[in-house]
Amino acid sequence: MAKVIAPNKHYTGLSAGVMFNNGIGETDDVNRIKWFAQKGYLVEGYEADASDLVPTATDTVSREEHEAVIAAHKASLDRVADLEKALAIANEEIERLQPKPPEPAGPVEPAPEPEPEKPNRKGK
């Protein structure tokens, strides 16, 4: 099984049929391994042959396409950060709206002390 490391170390999702978690995915599909290697992913645990290292004209990506992908990833990360902030605000609002236990109406008076027992006069 080859380990595929994405350029974005925080990427979690499905790419080319391989599930990534925090930038790391695994596959034993040779075609996918080659595809990831040609796209600039780091592949560990796979011995490449010479044909794996030579990209064809259809496998190249323009600088603009590469920058567009990076921008999309950054926008996704920004969106996640915005959602985390919104969630924190919502949780604070939920906490604020939770009913609070009632406060005592006033000072609590101590219970009266019991009266002392009267001696028992059984002798009479």
φ, ψ of residue 109 to 5 degrees: the values are -85, 140
Residue-wise pLDDT tens digits, 19-66: 999 999 999 888 898 889 888 899 888 776 655 555 545 556 678 888
Tell me the torsion sign for CA atoms 24, 29, 30, 35: negative
Identify whether 121 is part of a domain: no
Residue-wise pLDDT tens digits, 55-76: 545 556 678 888 888 888 888 8
The confidence score (pLDDT) of residue 10 equals 92
**39: which residues sit within 8 A by CB, 6+ positions away?**
59, 61
Identify whether 109 is part of a domain: no
Q: Are 52 and 37 in contact (CB under 8 A)?
A: yes
Do 67 and 87 reside in the same domain of the chain? Answer: yes
The confidence score (pLDDT) of residue 59 equals 54
Please count the structural domains in the chain. 2
Q: Which domain holds residue 82?
A: 60-98
Do 41 and 12 reside in the same domain of the chain? Answer: yes
Containing 77, the helix (H) or strand (E) segment is helix 63-97
The confidence score (pLDDT) of residue 65 equals 81
